[in-house]
Amino acid sequence: MIELRSPAEIEQMRPAGRFVAEVLTALQDAADVGVDLLDLDALAHRMIRERGAESCYIDYHPSFGASPFGKVLCTSVNDAVLHGLPHPYRLRDGDLLSLDFAVSVDGWVADSAVSLVVGTPREEDLRLIETTERALAAGIGAAVVGNHIEDIGHAIGEVAREAGLPINLQFGGHGVGRTMHGEPHVANDGRPGRGHPLRPGLVIAIEPWFLHTTDEIHTDPDGWTLRSDDGSRGAHAEHTVAITEDGPLVLTARGA
With beta carbons less than 8 A apart as the criterion, state whether 144 and 191 touch: no
Residue 255 pLDDT > 90, yes or no? no
Can you give the CATH number for the domain in which 209 is found? Answer: 3.90.230.10
Q: What is the pLDDT of residues 121-163, one digit of tens each?
A: 999 999 999 999 999 999 999 999 999 999 999 999 999 999 9
Question: What pLDDT is stored for residue 256 in this prediction?
Answer: 64
Q: Is the full-model pTM beyond 0.85? A: yes
45 belongs to a structural domain: yes
The residue-averaged pLDDT of 28-36 equals 98
Q: What is the pLDDT of residues 160-182, one digit of tens each?
A: 999 999 999 999 999 999 999 99
Question: What pLDDT is stored for residue 83 in this prediction?
Answer: 97
46 belongs to a structural domain: yes
Peptide bond into 15 cis (omega under 30): no
Q: What is the pLDDT of residues 216-226, one digit of tens each?
A: 999 999 999 99
1 belongs to a structural domain: no
List residues bridging with 103 in a β-sheet. Answer: 55, 110
**Total tally of structural domains belonging to the chain:** 1
Determine whether the annotation assigns residue 215 to a binding site.
Answer: no
Q: What is the pLDDT of residues 76-95, one digit of tens each?
A: 999 999 999 999 999 999 99
With beta carbons less than 8 A apart as the criterion, state whether 17 and 110 touch: yes
Determine whether the annotation assigns residue 54 to a binding site.
Answer: no
pLDDT classification of 64: cutoffs 50, 70, 90: confident
With beta carbons less than 8 A apart as the criterion, state whether 86 and 52 touch: no
Q: Please give the mean pLDDT across all residues of the chain.
A: 97
Q: Which residues contact 137 (CB under 8 A, 6 or more apart)?
A: none
pLDDT > 90: what percent of the chain?
A: 96
The residue-averaged pLDDT of 41-48 equals 98
256 belongs to a structural domain: no
69 belongs to a structural domain: yes
Question: What pLDDT is stored for residue 65 in this prediction?
Answer: 83
Q: Which domain holds residue 128?
A: 7-250
**What value, to the nearest 5°, has the Cα angle with vertex 36 and ends 110 and 117?**
70
Determine whether the annotation assigns residue 185 to a binding site.
Answer: no
Q: Is pLDDT larger for residue 6 or for residue 67? A: 6
Backbone angles phi, psi at 196, to 5 degrees: -60, 135
Determine whether the annotation assigns residue 207 to a binding site.
Answer: yes
Question: What pLDDT is stored for residue 132 in this prediction?
Answer: 98
2 belongs to a structural domain: no
139 belongs to a structural domain: yes
Determine whether the annotation assigns residue 83 to a binding site.
Answer: yes
172 belongs to a structural domain: yes
